[in-house]
Structure 1
Amino acid sequence: MGVANLSETTLRLLYLYLAECTLGIILFFVFRYFGILYRRRFLYTWALSWLAFTVYIAATCVVTAFFMQSQSTARLVVSTLAQMSCFLQIIWILRGAYELVTEKAFNRRKFKALLIVCFFLSLISVIAFSQTVEDSMLRYLLRVGSRTFVSGAGFMIAGIVVLQNKKFSRGFGQRILSITFILYSIYQLYYCLIVIINVCGTEMLVPNFYGVVDLLLISMMGMSMIMWLLEDERTRLDKANKELDRFLYSTSHDLRAPIASILGLTYLGKMEFEEERARTFMDMIEARVKKLDMVISDILSLSRSKKMDVKIEKINLKDLLDNSIADIKFNKGASAISLDYTNDPSHILASDFNQMKIVLNNLLANAVKYHNLDQPNPFIRVLFQRENDVVKIVIQDNGKGIAEANLPKIFEMFYRASLDTEGTGLGLYIVKEALSKIHGTIEVKSELGTGSTFTIILENA
């Protein structure tokens, strides 16, 4: 029979088969990609199951289009391929479920034995009752009934395994995937029931929406699988980040004690040594230990910023400035710089005090560190601006400034605009990270030799 002579119902069925083939190929590549990317063996196995599904549907499509009224050898070959591909899909689905639970590869010898059994069962189910027209209902039961029953049972087991799995994130994606597997199982078992009822002599038609449901469930499997993987990777990354934060905080905190001891010893050494050369060496040791202490202090500050929970409260900018100035007032050169800030009771913002203190501490410390103390009036100016719910805090200085070529990189970790400076390259990175926790941003304008202006922008403050 040619395709041109097919009925409208059969053509509609063929279009559904082609759509299912397309979805099967897409799911094969999706599962295979994530299986390789995340090194999950069970995903790669499930990818092969969707490749088998595609072959099964494609073979069924060929039988429907060309061999529906034929009992030729070609039909037997294609039907055997369809039957074997259907069974093979479920074997791979169950193998993937096994690998999901055990995180081990399935025994190769056992799998080869299953493939041989699968081939002979497929061949027998296709050849049986294929010689006479009178046996068409038994042939229908054996071929279609076995496919739907095996598919229903296989997806039901896989759905239960996914639902009860505890090795990966148990989020929304996992629940949707397991529910979709179970619904697809029920869908297949219902189809099997229709086959049995028809064989028993009671006519029961397949609902018209059946093909659409098939497409919908298969699409949901793909989307929920991706959601599950993304949720699982996010959970793993959050756990890794927390462990890394704890490690950094603990290590940095433990390192500061011996550094303080070394600094004390260098101070005593300079007092005891009379030779100028020996004192020079002690000064060099002290400078390098101080640099190491600065790096560790910045790492601790970054770790605290990441570990602290955000607590939004009303903050008076004057109180915030007083706290920050108390921390930096003994920095080298700080006493020679004037603070230009006009206090106003309206300078109130809603934000996290600790995160904002980290931001101001670093910006003010940088303004002191990179100032030009040789000019007549070195200053740091702080301005408060409010536009509805948006607050801008401007910190301006007339210090050394930053070259325009360096501006795009100054917020990167460990970036230093000049090798002659004593900074660690972490200060502005910490500022950016702290602001990201409170949904703030920062802008900078600077001119080398003239000064810099940093503008903190806080939404809903």
Structure 2
Amino acid sequence: MRFEGLENEIIARTGATYFAEMLIGIILAATFYYFSKLYNRHYLSTWAISWVFFSLAAFSLGFGSWYGYSRMDSVRLASTYITQVGNFLHVIFLLAGLIEYRRGKKISVTYLLFISTITLVASFVLVWAYRDSTNDNEVLLRYFLRVGVRYFVVAAGFLAAGILALRSKLFLQGIGRRIFTVSFFLYALTYSYYFSVALANFMGKNFVFPFFFGMIEMVIISATGLGMVIWLLEDERERLNKINKELDSFLYSTSHDLRSPIASILGITNIARLELKDEITKRYMEMIDDRVKRLDLVISDILKLSRSKKIELKIEPIDFNALLKDVIADVKFNENAPAIRLDYTENTANVFQSDYQQMKIVLGNLIANAVKYHDISKPDPLIRVQFLRNGSRVEVSVEDNGQGIRPEALPKIFDMFYRATTTSEGTGLGLYIVQEALSKVGGTITVKSEHGKGSTFTIVLNDA
């Protein structure tokens, strides 16, 4: 299609703007449909339908502007009807989605079909009225029914949407809500201006829309869609945070409550082992005692993980010498610990900034593992701890000459519940807890290991 002259250039740009809006609508419809399936949120599918109708209206407007406003044939009439229906249903389904979100339940399909049917009929009446008229007054009335009413409905609909979003306590006070709420009001303001121009023309004035208003409209509609998507992601993040907090509280409470009966069972089995004379029965008691201790170890690690997540960070100067002594005091009575030599040189300069409780969890797990999986049959079983500072960067390494880790197991040792061997006595949570605690304080951990010779875990803390 060839355009000549300024007027035709404006028509071409206007049509291209509407087709760009159509593409934006299609992208938003696909986005909300995808998220509706991903998150199983009914109001998102309603919004997806809303943007489908917006795309339909934008396509019809673009086609109509290129086809010619002066033509009054059946193609032009159909294009106008599709525009009316698309704009009206876009507003209706946008409001329906907001209402569904506020109410927490889906609007019945029957009700939406009823409203849609009324919209189809009303749009047909508005478009069909005075279709063949040549009388100046009737032509103006036809213009107002087709254009002015559409502008009024869109302006009123987006104003209502903005008020709903602004007044709803369910919407988060995030950047997404601010963007799409402001965009709703700006879109309502833009269409209010369109309506005022249509009304003035109906009353005999001769106002012309500035062609650049189409670009402004496209920017606003893009901001509206972007704000809705950002809000959706913010809302979903808040939901996940809430679920995680509830799950952490449940784990902590349940694990804590289970420890009391486990302690009672261990006490009873210990007494039974002392009093029973039958060797077979005593062996069974020892097996029960061993399994219950294993369960207690799992629960203890779950409690550590829960505490690590629940503890509020308190960044403060930490004396590494005192921290290490605190950790050693907790593990010095563990099995094999008395036979292992600690190699560490105290230095008063070994001070860094971090959270004491998180670092105690990290260092405690690493040294406890080094003790548990050591090989005390070696000539000089040792655990070497080093503290190195390079500017604001701190490195802490825990090295042992114990069993080491097989190469195929190294990539998985920080996974939850992963155990390098089936004979391992651990729960598979220790190193996962270490990594989680370090992520809270902005640290990282790496490992080097040679099976049969030992392992070295290196903690890196930046800005410490």
TM range (shorter): over 0.9
Q: Secondary structure at the match of 1:392?
A: strand
- Is it true that 1:27 corresponds to 2:51 in the alignment? no
Give the distance between the partners of 1:238 and 1:112, measured in 2 at CA: 37
Larger deviation, residues 172-181 vs 122-131: 122-131
Query: Which residue of structure 2 aligns with residue 322 of structure 1?
Result: 325
Amino acid at match of 2:123: S
Query: Which residue of structure 2 aligns with residue 423 of structure 1?
Result: 426
How many Å apart are 1:143 and its aligned residue? 0.8
Give the distance between the partners of 2:339 and 2:63, measured in 1 at CA: 88
Amino acid at match of 1:291: R
Q: Is the 8 A contact 2:161 2:184 kept in 1?
A: yes
Amino acid at match of 1:193: S
Amino acid at match of 2:69: M
Amino acid at match of 1:310: L
Over 3 Å counting, the alpha-carbon distance change for 1:216 and 1:293 in structure 2 is same
Q: Is the 8 A contact 2:10 2:211 kept in 1?
A: no
Query: Which residue of structure 2 aligns with residue 213 of structure 1?
Result: 216
- Is it true that 1:401 corresponds to 2:404 in the alignment? yes
- Is it true that 1:65 corresponds to 2:66 in the alignment? yes
Give the distance between the partners of 2:91 and 2:256, measured in 1 at CA: 55
Give the distance between the partners of 2:193 and 2:132, measured in 1 at CA: 28
Match of 1:141 among 132, 140, 144: 144
Can you give the 5+ residue segments of structure 1 that lack an aligned partner in the other structure? none
Larger deviation, residues 306-315 vs 44-53: 44-53
Matches within 5 A, 1:28-427: 28-133=29-134, 134=136, 135-427=138-430
Larger deviation, residues 73-82 vs 17-26: 73-82
How many Å apart are 1:3 and its aligned residue? 5.1
How many Å apart are 1:4 and its aligned residue? 4.6
Amino acid at match of 1:155: F
Give the distance between the partners of 1:234 and 1:119, measured in 2 at CA: 39
The C-alpha deviation readout for 1:169-196, integer Å capped at 9, x for no partner, is 3322122212211111111111100111
How many Å apart are 1:35 and its aligned residue? 2.2
Give the distance between the partners of 1:236 and 1:33, measured in 2 at CA: 18
The C-alpha deviation readout for 1:179-217, integer Å capped at 9, x for no partner, is 211111111111100111122223323234211111111
Q: Secondary structure at the match of 1:160?
A: helix
Over 3 Å counting, the alpha-carbon distance change for 1:113 and 1:253 in structure 2 is closer
- Is it true that 1:10 corresponds to 2:8 in the alignment? no
Larger deviation, residues 103-112 vs 47-56: 103-112
How many Å apart are 1:329 and its aligned residue? 0.6
Larger deviation, residues 20-29 vs 2-11: 2-11
Q: Secondary structure at the match of 2:245?
A: helix
How many Å apart are 1:7 and its aligned residue? 1.2
Give the distance between the partners of 1:376 and 1:418, measured in 2 at CA: 25
Q: Is the 8 A contact 1:3 1:65 kept in 2?
A: no
Give the distance between the partners of 1:76 and 1:125, measured in 2 at CA: 11
Over 3 Å counting, the alpha-carbon distance change for 1:178 and 1:304 in structure 2 is same
Over 3 Å counting, the alpha-carbon distance change for 1:421 and 1:107 in structure 2 is closer
Amino acid at match of 1:157: A
Alignment identity in percent?
47
Give the distance between the partners of 2:401 and 2:108, measured in 1 at CA: 73
How many Å apart are 1:356 and its aligned residue? 0.7
Q: Secondary structure at the match of 1:17?
A: helix
The C-alpha deviation readout for 1:224-265, integer Å capped at 9, x for no partner, is 111111111111111111111111111111111111111111
Q: Is the 8 A contact 2:165 2:171 kept in 1?
A: no
TM-score, normalised relative to structure 2: 0.95
How many Å apart are 1:411 and its aligned residue? 0.8
How many Å apart are 1:38 and its aligned residue? 1.9
Larger deviation, residues 432-441 vs 419-428: 419-428
Amino acid at match of 1:76: L
Give the distance between the partners of 1:357 and 1:110, measured in 2 at CA: 60
The C-alpha deviation readout for 1:279-301, integer Å capped at 9, x for no partner, is 21121111111111111111111
Over 3 Å counting, the alpha-carbon distance change for 1:424 and 1:111 in structure 2 is closer
Amino acid at match of 2:306: S
Q: Secondary structure at the match of 2:342?
A: strand
Give the distance between the partners of 2:336 and 2:170, measured in 1 at CA: 57
Q: Secondary structure at the match of 2:309?
A: helix
Give the distance between the partners of 2:291 and 2:111, measured in 1 at CA: 64
Give the distance between the partners of 1:399 and 1:29, measured in 2 at CA: 56
TM-score, normalised relative to structure 1: 0.96
The C-alpha deviation readout for 1:360-401, integer Å capped at 9, x for no partner, is 111111111111111221111111111111100111111111
Give the distance between the partners of 1:105 and 1:291, measured in 2 at CA: 48
Larger deviation, residues 137-146 vs 363-372: 137-146
Q: Is the 8 A contact 2:155 2:190 kept in 1?
A: yes
Amino acid at match of 1:34: F
Q: Is the 8 A contact 2:419 2:428 kept in 1?
A: yes
Query: Which residue of structure 2 aligns with residue 455 of structure 1?
Result: 458
RMSD (CA atoms): 1.6
Give the distance between the partners of 1:107 and 1:243, measured in 2 at CA: 32
Q: Secondary structure at the match of 2:208?
A: coil
Q: Is the 8 A contact 2:16 2:62 kept in 1?
A: no
Give the distance between the partners of 1:94 and 1:362, measured in 2 at CA: 54
Give the distance between the partners of 2:340 and 2:369, measured in 1 at CA: 13
How many Å apart are 1:54 and its aligned residue? 1.5
Over 3 Å counting, the alpha-carbon distance change for 1:94 and 1:315 in structure 2 is closer
